[in-house]
Amino acid sequence: MVFLFVTITVSAQTEYVLSDSYVYHFLERMEALHIIEGYNSFEVPKTRTVIAGYLKEVIANRDKLDEADKNLLTDYEAEFELELFGTMKRQQRLIGSGYFNFLSQDQKYLYYISDTTNNINLFFNSAGHSDYILESFPGIPKKTFAAVLSYQFQVRGSFFDKFGFFWRGGNGVVFGNREASFFRRDLQYNFKYNTFDKPNSFDITTAGYMTADFKFLKFKFGRDRMNIGYGPVKPIMGNSAPIFDYLYFDAKYKSVEVSYFHGKLIGNTTSVMDTIQGGQNFVAEKYIGYHRLSFNISNALNIGGGEIIIYGDRPLDFTFLNPFTIYKTAQNESSKDRDNSMIFFDYNNKSIEGLKLYGVFFIDDVELGKLGSNYYGNQFIYNIGLVSENLYKIIPLEIQFEYTRQDPYVFTHRIPNSNFTNGGFSLGSFMQPNSELFFTQLNYRFTNRLRLSASFSYYVHGANPLNPDGTVKRNVGGNINLGHREFDALDAPFLDGDKEITRRISTKLYYEPIKDVYFGGTVVYKNQSLQNFVYKKVLETYFTFGFVL
């Protein structure tokens, strides 16, 4: 009898995969199909090593995948080759020795260094992206167009299988109509693009961090995009606000996971003109704290709960740097109830193979003695949804449905600098308080490189009635930047005020003919009934092209 032992040296990469990567959608599909276990899709991003761990489970169950996902897994085997197999056979670099083929399906870099002896890996990338946006208004002879071009550099690396870093920076330029360019959400809060002289250029949002990975315990210090919540419309932390700097750690052992971060936000900004120095911006101090405890009750059920604290107008508060304190109690004792504390509970159920059910119950504020009434101090978010992969073995169609309700005054605060915003933009989704959203989406995968999605949303918002000069006539809790004032009514019925309705139909096609070279086309139709008898119909056509090298 002959025994053959094969040793594979796998390099741990502590860098995090960007939150907009499609690999997270792929892993959620694998989670619903019971192909992987223990995956936490509530918090994104995750390290390359963690993602590779789940991909190994998928590789072991490759025979359960449809043809499109088998080919997609092959792509990920190239992208995460170093983490999966400890090799660099499907990696190419433009600069340096070796053969480079831009048309190949391998993973491509400008340059890389992989020193397996000393466990040091460095990767240098560039990325180009262009968006072409055409807005037309049915019934009105008006069209607007904008072209948005951007280029950026990325550097990431890991050392000794424990430490890593990431950096990204770049610039962009806009040609055409500024209003049309705001179809790209990030340009709405880009500081350079929205300064007084309104230039056509903008800075790519800088992201960068350092990491330390000790298997069961992970640390990160820096800035990147973070998403918190299940489903396509993140109820807690989405993509609607600028990213921010934070200190983060995550501890996971078997079925228990603890996560925490403390970050620096952009507070209220005031501008002062000086005849000598010119304009000066003064930004108030503002911070956010977050912690969550979750349990994998079984392979099919995950539950969690956590707290968030927003505070400002003072230096860093060591009370909230402590990840093991209770924010609600601490803010009453140490800050005398001047901060905004919130709690939430979440669940994720996959008991039925192919069906994922999830939900979040968020409590911004509550008065127990007035539950069931319209009291403004009862501020909740209800979020429920499902993802169905039940047709997986028949056709590659995924069905998503989600409902979210945000009560009046949720996310607001009587002290403006303690509301749930960063730079005036909601840290959650695009939704305002006093609103509800019905959202349905269909995702179809023709191949691993060609996919189509179609969605419909019905959004209802109770807006604050306005005076002719634009000031608030009556506060019904419909604006995240205006909390309850002493003279506002104590009752705040849901959807009170000027009812606004937005119906949105969207189709999006994504095609990647060569790995990391992609094309996309999106058509969005919006029919809006807004306050003051304003009606809008907008057809937005959005074409994109990009590459990563």
| Each residue's pLDDT tens digit, 423-466 | 999 999 999 999 999 999 999 999 999 999 999 999 999 999 99
* CA–CA separation, 338 and 332 (whole Å): 8
Q: What is the DSSP letter of 64?
A: G
Q: Is the pLDDT of residue 341 over 80?
A: yes
| pLDDT (tens digit per residue) in 246-298 | 999 999 999 999 999 999 999 988 877 776 666 777 888 999 999 999 999 99
In the chain, DSSP finds a helix count (H) and a strand count (E) of 8, 27
Q: Write the CB contacts of 369 (distance below 8 Å, at least 6 apart in sequence).
A: none
CB 56 within 8 A of CB 84: yes
- Tokens 């104590």 found at: 490
Question: For residue 278, what pLDDT is reported?
Answer: 66
Tokens found for residue 419: 């509301």
Q: Write the CB contacts of 15 (distance below 8 Å, at least 6 apart in sequence).
A: 47, 48, 156, 157, 158, 164, 165, 166, 211
The answer to which of 24-28, 183-187, 329-333 has the lowest mean pLDDT is: 329-333
Q: At 97, is the pLDDT very low, low, confident or very high (cuts 50, 70, 90)?
A: confident
Angle between helices 67-79 and 48-60 in degrees, nearest 10: 140
Tokens found for residue 390: 């039940």
The mean of the pLDDT values for the chain is 92
Question: For residue 10, what pLDDT is reported?
Answer: 57
Question: For residue 152, what pLDDT is reported?
Answer: 95
Nearest to 13 by CA among 159, 188, 210: 159
Q: For the residues 233-237, what does the mean pLDDT come to?
A: 94
* CA–CA separation, 98 and 100 (whole Å): 7
Q: At 5, is the pLDDT very low, low, confident or very high (cuts 50, 70, 90)?
A: very low
Q: For the residues 168-187, what does the mean pLDDT come to?
A: 92
| pLDDT (tens digit per residue) in 524-547 | 999 999 998 899 999 999 999 999
Alpha helices in 268-427 (DSSP H): 318-321, 327-334
DSSP secondary structure, 152-220, as one string: EEEEEEEETTTEEEEEEEEEEEEEE-HHHHTTSHHHHS-TGGGSTT--SEEEEEEEEEEEEE-SSEEEE
* CA–CA separation, 133 and 147 (whole Å): 6
DSSP secondary structure, 350-362, as one string: --STTEEEEEEEE
Q: What is the DSSP letter of 418?
A: G
Q: Write the CB contacts of 372 (distance below 8 Å, at least 6 apart in sequence).
A: none
* Own/partner long-range contacts of 39-42 (Cβ < 8 Å, ≥24 apart): 40/257, 40/294, 40/302, 41/230, 41/348, 42/228, 42/229, 42/230, 42/292, 42/294, 42/302, 42/304, 42/346, 42/348
Element (H, E) at 264: strand 256-264
Task: Return the ∠ at Cα 119 (arms to 115 and 120), rounded to 5°.
Answer: 60
* Burial class of residue 525 in the structure, from the number of CB atoms within 10 Å of its CB (0-12 exposed, 13-18 middle, 19+ buried): middle
CB 33 within 8 A of CB 25: no
| pLDDT (tens digit per residue) in 107-165 | 999 999 998 888 899 999 999 999 999 999 887 888 999 999 999 999 999 999 899 99
Q: Is the pLDDT of residue 361 over 70?
A: yes
* CA–CA separation, 282 and 176 (whole Å): 32
Residue 236 region by backbone torsions, left for phi larger than 0, else alpha for psi between -120 and 50, else beta: alpha
Question: For residue 1, what pLDDT is reported?
Answer: 35
* Burial class of residue 507 in the structure, from the number of CB atoms within 10 Å of its CB (0-12 exposed, 13-18 middle, 19+ buried): middle
DSSP secondary structure, 462-519, as one string: EEPPB-TTSSBS---S--TT----TTS-SB--TT-SEEEEEEEEEEEEEEEEETTEEE
Tokens found for residue 63: 């025979």
Residue 60: CA count within 13 A, CB half-sphere:
11
Q: For the residues 358-377, what does the mean pLDDT come to?
A: 94
Question: For residue 161, what pLDDT is reported?
Answer: 87
Q: Say how far residue 487 (Cα) sits from the centre of its chain.
A: 37
* CA–CA separation, 246 and 261 (whole Å): 6
Q: At 4, is the pLDDT very low, low, confident or very high (cuts 50, 70, 90)?
A: very low
- For 5, phi then psi, to 5°, come to -110, 125
Whether the bond between 45 and the residue before it is cis, its omega within 30 degrees of 0, is yes
The answer to which of 101-105, 221-225, 237-241, 457-461 has the lowest mean pLDDT is: 101-105
Question: For residue 479, what pLDDT is reported?
Answer: 97
Angle between helices 23-32 and 48-60 in degrees, nearest 10: 40
Question: For residue 11, what pLDDT is reported?
Answer: 64
* CA–CA separation, 334 and 169 (whole Å): 39
Q: What is the DSSP letter of 2?
A: -
Q: For the residues 482-497, what does the mean pLDDT come to?
A: 96
Tokens found for residue 255: 């079925």
Q: Is the pLDDT of residue 214 over 50?
A: yes
Q: Which CATH number fits the domain 23-548, given the four candidates 2.40.160.130, 3.30.9.40, 2.70.98.40, 2.40.37.10?
A: 2.40.160.130
